Amino acid sequence: MTQSKYPTIDWTKNEYHKLREAVDLLKAVLERESKRSCTAQQLLPGDDEVIEEAIAMLEERIDYDPSPQYEPSFAGI
């Protein structure tokens, strides 16, 4: 079998799937960190807030619906 100079593409996972995996990973980090005692925590104080903000931003982007949203008065309904 010859090696291709081009990377193989996993068509079952697009970039949004990878972003979702990143969100799940960040949520797992926060969950593990919350179970640790204050002396055993590995993140700096305030890191959890930054991670939560990043999660919210990523989820907003992942769940974004680009289709136009019409008001009933403008749609003739």
Band (66; pLDDT cuts 50, 70, 90)? confident
The predicted-structure confidence for 5-64, as pLDDT tens digits, reads as follows: 777 767 677 888 889 999 999 999 999 999 999 889 899 999 999 999 999 999 999 988
Indicate the domain borders of the chain: 15-63
How high is the pLDDT of residue 54?
A: 97
Q: DSSP labels for 1-62?
A: -PPPSSPP--TT--HHHHHHHHHHHHHHHHHHHHHS-TTT--SPTTHHHHHHHHHHHHHHHH
The tokens of 62 are what? 């992942």
pTM: 0.69
How high is the pLDDT of residue 75?
A: 55
